[in-house]
Amino acid sequence: MIPEPVLHPAGVASVKPFDQKIRITALRLCFIPLLPLLILTRSAWHATPVAAILETCGVLLVFAAVLGRFWSILYIGGRKNAAVMRDGPYSMCRHPLYLFSTIGATGFGLVLGSMVMALALGGLTWIILSMTAAREEHFLRHRFGGQYDAYARQVPRMFPAFHLFRTPAEISFDSGTLARNAADALVFLALIPVGQVLRGLQMAAFHPAIPLF
């Protein structure tokens, strides 16, 4: 982590942190148009080895998302908006929590047995969270001034640059923040059985279903 921040000359009183409730609401609203796809489509790979491969890859991505979010929380802990974290996952991209959330959404699409659904869910999540990250960074640039500008020039926003990875020998973490993140982790893990149930309903539907590859 870099030294304690020097406030931007303009101060931060007029710039507030981004309201995360907006992000959650936006994700929910934007996924509503995808509901018909979940109901009126089915995997074109049903009963083929490809379906099993896609589902396995999807489950692995969901687990990777959960582990990645925990990893990120270990570093950011209770330091969000209080310091510029540049270690661990934050040394490779500026918003690793959003990166792993996108990976989880993509994995859910694969659990449904569809590469098209994976691209749709992952792409939409990436767009919404990229926009959220941009809003958050408006505050961070005012909060930390040139320190955050230098960080942003060196480290990409969400697509990781693995060669930049660095981490100290020891880190401290906020157990309360880690515990609260467990609830988010359970939501991602729930995507696995939800996807399997949806696949079963799609195959048993009494109406014509459009096959998606």
**Which of 92, 75, 100 has the alpha carbon at shortest distance from 177?**
75
In terms of C-beta density within 10 A (0-12 exposed, 13-18 middle, 19 or more buried), how is residue 129 classed?
buried
Give the residues of the chain that fall short of pLDDT 70.
1-20, 205-208
- pLDDT at residue 185 in the model: 76
Hey, what domains does the chain have and what are their CATH numbers? Answer: 49-205 (1.20.120)
Write the DSSP string, 68-85. HHHHHHHHHTT-TTTS--
- pLDDT at residue 10 in the model: 46
- pLDDT at residue 19 in the model: 67
- pLDDT at residue 3 in the model: 41
User: CA–CA separation, 124 vs 27, rounded Å?
Assistant: 9
Query: What are the tokens at 185?
Result: 């982790």
Write the DSSP string, 187-205. HHHHHHHHHHHHHHHHHH-
- pLDDT at residue 196 in the model: 83
Q: Is residue 213 within 8 Å of residue 45, measured between CB atoms?
A: yes
